[in-house]
Structure 1
Amino acid sequence: MAKGGFPGMGGGNMNSLLKQAQKLQQQMEEMQKSSETKEFEVSVGGGAVVARANGKKELISIEIKPEVVDPEDVEMLQDLILSACNEVISKAEEDTAESMKKLTGGLNIPGM
């Protein structure tokens, strides 16, 4: 390795690198707290089922229009509910991933 440390690392100044890592960690923690307070909503079946989730990817409510409840076709209602739940959780995950991508500049950091 060339004298002066890692190429592109400001001459190998480990203190500077450590400070940058700590700053990134703090920003990630703030982003996570911010994401957890967000709410996401998805509507399926033309508004027949509405699912809401928070940034922790927890379902917080499900609304079902009464006219969609058909005792002869329970399977359709089950499919609508399942679809709405999956979509709203995906929406929350995508938002978190996008926020993380902005924070890290697109770097793929394992475990994040």
Structure 2
Amino acid sequence: MQGLLQQAQQMQQQYAEAQAELASAKVEGSAGGGLVKAVVTGDNTLVSVKIDPSVVDADDIETLEDLVVAAIHAAGTEARKLAEKKLGALTQGLGGLGDSLGLPGF
């Protein structure tokens, strides 16, 4: 029983460390062939959006809006992939628990 408790504490520490790494990691998503780029952290916090001036057209704001949304979505996808990579091995050790807790990697 003591060994199980130690193993759980070790997994908890590893999970906290992985979450801290994710919070500081940055990933990028882009749209329009790189004309719009979004950067998010590994825990999916939007950090920045860069827009190439050539895509700015006052008569076509809708296209720019669509590109911004697409870039943010792409960055979020990259953040989820990173989270699954970093946290997946840890959450697999939880059996079916990780999925019910909404943890990535399942």
Structure 1 unaligned blocks of 5 or more: 1-13
Distance in 2, Cα, partners of 1:90 & 1:104 = 19
Q: Where has structure 1 moved over 6 Å in runs of 4 or more?
A: none
Q: Hey, what's the Cα distance between the residues in 1 that align with 2:45 and 2:66?
A: 19
Aligned residues: 99
2:63 maps to 1:76: yes
- Residue 56 of structure 1 is matched in structure 2 by 43
Query: Would you say the 8 A contact 2:30–2:70 is kept in 1?
Result: no
Which structure has more helix as a fraction of its residues? 2
Match of 1:101 in 2: 88
What do you get for the CA RMSD once the two structures are aligned?
1.5
Larger RCO of the pair (alpha carbons < 8 Å, separation 6+):
2
Aligned ranges 1:1-112 → 2 under 5 Å: 14-105=1-92, 107-108=95-96, 109=98, 110-111=100-101, 112=103
TM-score by length of 1: 0.80
Identity %: 36
Query: What TM-score do the two structures reach when normalised by structure 2?
Result: 0.84
